[in-house]
Structure 1
Amino acid sequence: MVASRRAAMRRASPTFLSGIRAALTVLSMALSGVLAAMAVASIHMARRVVTPAARMPDTTILDLDTAAQTITLARTPDTQLPGRYGLFTTGSATYVKLGSVLAEQETQVTRKLLTHIAADAHLQPRAAFSGWYFDSPDQLHLPYTPELIGTSVGPCPAWLFPAGDGDVWVIQIHGRGTTRAEGLRAVPLFAAAGISSLLVSYRNDSEAPRSRSGTYALGATEWRDVDAAIGFARRRGANRIVLMGWSMGGAIALQVSLNSAHREHIIGLILESPVVDWRLVLEYQSAALNVPTAVSNLAIGALSTPWASPITRSGGAIPFDKLDILSRASELQHPILILHSDDDGFVPSDASHDLAILRPDLVDLVVFDVARHTKLWNYDQERWTSSINEWLSRHAK
């Protein structure tokens, strides 16, 4: 049978054989083109992950009624949320505070303005919805001082809000693409509890110094700047430290708790919408953007490989295994309060649920819904505040 098959191949016409070769060549070229396109897409994605992000518009101002002091925005999952928020704008104002939803239609929502807008004001249409609410420390009407934290990359700016006898401090760590102002809304709660607040910056966040690469390491290096802040707090008399991390700041806080030389002075962590495992977050975001799984896997692989760092511009391999707190759950030592919304929309809450299951002895998980990413205070300030106060009463008194 083998001999007859070979004989048939010998009898095949040259035209037929050349057709086969041409088809194989075209197939090979097409496959190479697909692989090349996937490689380009994965590198693009990898660079986006580690490149500090500028705030991007995510809604449109459709109408501004200065007589009624209302503003109408294009409807999005965020702009329709109940509660108090902020809006980054351009034109006559750079930031305005928003109150409750007054009216809503299929494509738009009208909200109360809590920042007075003059009759002759003009705002550009494109804007960015924010959970910050406060964008300046002066708006809290609490005493504070600007500080500089010495780190290996240079002095990192911080705000210190002293409270109580100075024994307990909370160090607040903001998320990816934001600044220390993100944590201002939490300061009054801690001040009322007699806890000093230190709101820190870290390398490459637009306020702190730039590292050599100028890119994020997703917590793998940033934690050292926060550790330096603990040293600063200790020199100022702090004996007990609470770490509070927002989004990527949660990933940084967890790295501090595992690696800090000051671990014995850390009494607990409060994590708001935290990144617990970066792989899960990147896979979730890729799916939301309809990025093929193969592309996202290639991007994660490139970021975790030292030889690819010149291409991804990451400045070094991202140690995803070390950043995976689920696989390192047994190493955790400090009590943790996690506040997370199940409809987060950016950082899925699955890993927070999993960590609570893995370490029920340490982790308290308070689940929200509707609140979206890092907007839990805005959506339900009473529940957010009571949850933290109850946890503080057990771990910081």
Structure 2
Amino acid sequence: MASSETQSRSWLKWGALGAAAAGTCAAVVVTATSGLAAFFARRVVTPEKHRVDDVAILAVIADGPALQVVLEATPDTIIDGTYGLYFNDSSAHAVIGRILSYVPREGSVTREVLSVHGGELRTATAGWWSGSLYSDPGQLGLDFSEVELSLPGGPAPAWYIPVLNPCATWAIMVHGRGARRNEGLRAVPTAHRLGMNALLISYRNDGDAPDAPDGRYGLGVTEWADVEVAIDYAIAHGAKDVVLFGYSMGGAISLQAADLARNRKHVLAMVLDAPVINWVDVLAHQAQLNRIPNYVGKYGELMLSHPLGRRITGLAAPVDFKAMDWVSRAVELRTPSLILHSIDDDFVPYEPTAELARRNPEMVTFEPFSKARHTKEWNVDPDRWENVVETWLRPRLGRHSLPRH
């Protein structure tokens, strides 16, 4: 049997080894946590250069002169409504209509094809699903012109879509994260019926406008300055005021513009579709969806919002989440706002929208939808979407905004 001194030395040895091992494990855990948080934070603010074709096209069936397409059944493709299916590296797309059959056990859904633009659907094997039916105003039969906005980062393209006998209010469409200006085309017919010229803008890092120096989304903290330029353009070309139509992150951008822009007095109202009301809530939801532990998501949020996190995220300046928390700032919102938001939105939860409307009913009207997921309220029920927007906006346009004859 070993002496007590030998046993003591043995315990000390193993204790030291155990402490070293525990320290190593702790270091590994901290490193892994930091790495995952950094990946999560960078992904939030880094623009995607190319959309991934993540919906399989299983077959295309000729039904006389019409076409039908058999698609992989996904949470998006099994919802009724009208959508865009982009393929051939996003250079072509088809407008997809109603569901003709759905076979869950085979994981397939067959839908009608309403039109095809720019390519041959029969040879495509995959594409990506979108709420944007058309890639430019010409496909809607609209007269339009390409105009240039002098953004802080350089010249950026926009579509100007005039209406006959315009009123003094313009509609400015602000698309969401990962989308482009064609996202706002769905709202143009409604704007035109109300007598508003439409301006569909691009903004920094969206693939059409110049990139910001850091090449990162500001989540609304920086992009609102580009909307400010768009408002200037509208006023310089005859508008008395504007209505901002914002989708998803475009909603967050519009809220910041109405709050901070030098020319914010010209923002008559906002129509926001599935807007980000509180980024902290969205980030927590996305972390949960991606099975990222809550503390890791919080760490990623800290990286985005703290000055020291810039070396990791690549941001030129930290993101001020408090400035974009419109639940906490509810009473500060003084621009009449209609918010259309699906209660099953899987990307931007609707609860902050509902809470904002509850806290500021004087300024905020919340119109809940269902089954629309994210920013597809119009696609699921276009008649209702357009009727709600027209009914809410018409009395707010005012006498000075009656169509000119």
Distance in 2 between residues matched to 1:234 and 1:110, nearest whole Å: 47
What CA RMSD, in Å, does the superposition of the two structures yield over aligned residues? 1.9
Aligned counterpart, 1:147: 147
Deviation at 1:31, TM superposition (A): 1.0
Deviation digits for residues 329-355 of structure 1 (CA, Å, limit 9, x no counterpart): 221111000000000111110110110
1:122-271 equivalence runs, <5 A = 122-163=122-163, 164-271=165-272
Deviation at 1:189, TM superposition (A): 1.0
Amino acid aligned to 1:323: M
Distance in 2 between residues matched to 1:356 and 1:67, nearest whole Å: 47
TM-score normalized by the length of structure 2: 0.92
Aligned counterpart, 2:87: 89
Amino acid aligned to 2:111: R
8 Å Cα contact 1:342-1:349 kept in structure 2: yes
Deviation digits for residues 333-379 of structure 1 (CA, Å, limit 9, x no counterpart): 11000000000111110110110011011100000010111111110
Aligned counterpart, 1:48: 43
Aligned counterpart, 1:62: 58
Amino acid aligned to 2:151: T
Q: Does 1:301 align with 2:302?
A: yes
Amino acid aligned to 1:82: D
Q: Does 1:372 align with 2:367?
A: no
Deviation digits for residues 93-148 of structure 1 (CA, Å, limit 9, x no counterpart): 72111010000011111000112599986433221011101211101212211111
Q: Does 1:34 align with 2:29?
A: yes
Deviation digits for residues 191-234 of structure 1 (CA, Å, limit 9, x no counterpart): 11111111001011000011110110001010000011000100
Amino acid aligned to 2:357: A
Aligned counterpart, 1:347: 348
Aligned counterpart, 1:286: 287
8 Å Cα contact 2:92-2:117 kept in structure 1: no
- Paired residue secondary structure (2:394): helix
Aligned counterpart, 2:390: 389
Instruction: Give unmatched runs, 5+ long, in structure 1.
Output: 1-8
Task: Classify 1:393/1:127 alpha carbon distance in 2 versus 1 (closer, same or farther; 3 Å).
Answer: same
8 Å Cα contact 1:244-1:271 kept in structure 2: yes
Mean CA deviation greater in 217-226 or 19-28:
19-28
Task: Classify 1:303/1:242 alpha carbon distance in 2 versus 1 (closer, same or farther; 3 Å).
Answer: same
Deviation at 1:328, TM superposition (A): 1.6
Distance in 1 between residues matched to 2:68 and 2:312, nearest whole Å: 48
8 Å Cα contact 2:55-2:127 kept in structure 1: yes
Task: Classify 1:332/1:121 alpha carbon distance in 2 versus 1 (closer, same or farther; 3 Å).
Answer: closer
Amino acid aligned to 1:13: S
Task: Classify 1:372/1:26 alpha carbon distance in 2 versus 1 (closer, same or farther; 3 Å).
Answer: same
Deviation at 1:91, TM superposition (A): 7.8
8 Å Cα contact 2:91-2:118 kept in structure 1: no
Amino acid aligned to 1:230: I
Task: Classify 1:360/1:214 alpha carbon distance in 2 versus 1 (closer, same or farther; 3 Å).
Answer: same
Task: Classify 1:241/1:278 alpha carbon distance in 2 versus 1 (closer, same or farther; 3 Å).
Answer: same
Mean CA deviation greater in 39-48 or 90-99:
90-99
8 Å Cα contact 1:93-1:123 kept in structure 2: no
Task: Classify 1:264/1:93 alpha carbon distance in 2 versus 1 (closer, same or farther; 3 Å).
Answer: closer
Distance in 1 between residues matched to 2:148 and 2:118, nearest whole Å: 37
Mean CA deviation greater in 373-382 or 19-28:
19-28
Deviation at 1:28, TM superposition (A): 1.1
Distance in 2 between residues matched to 1:11 and 1:184, nearest whole Å: 82
8 Å Cα contact 2:270-2:337 kept in structure 1: yes
8 Å Cα contact 1:66-1:117 kept in structure 2: no
- Paired residue secondary structure (2:323): helix
Q: Does 1:77 align with 2:78?
A: no
Distance in 2 between residues matched to 1:88 and 1:121, nearest whole Å: 10
8 Å Cα contact 2:93-2:116 kept in structure 1: no
8 Å Cα contact 1:148-1:155 kept in structure 2: yes
Instruction: Give unmatched runs, 5+ long, in structure 2.
Output: 399-405
Aligned counterpart, 2:10: 15
8 Å Cα contact 2:94-2:121 kept in structure 1: no
Deviation at 1:56, TM superposition (A): 2.1
- Paired residue secondary structure (1:176): coil
- Paired residue secondary structure (2:392): helix
Aligned counterpart, 2:100: 102
8 Å Cα contact 1:172-1:200 kept in structure 2: yes
Amino acid aligned to 1:62: L
8 Å Cα contact 2:56-2:126 kept in structure 1: yes
Task: Classify 1:117/1:103 alpha carbon distance in 2 versus 1 (closer, same or farther; 3 Å).
Answer: farther
- Paired residue secondary structure (2:395): helix
- Paired residue secondary structure (1:226): helix
Task: Classify 1:253/1:117 alpha carbon distance in 2 versus 1 (closer, same or farther; 3 Å).
Answer: closer
8 Å Cα contact 1:91-1:122 kept in structure 2: no
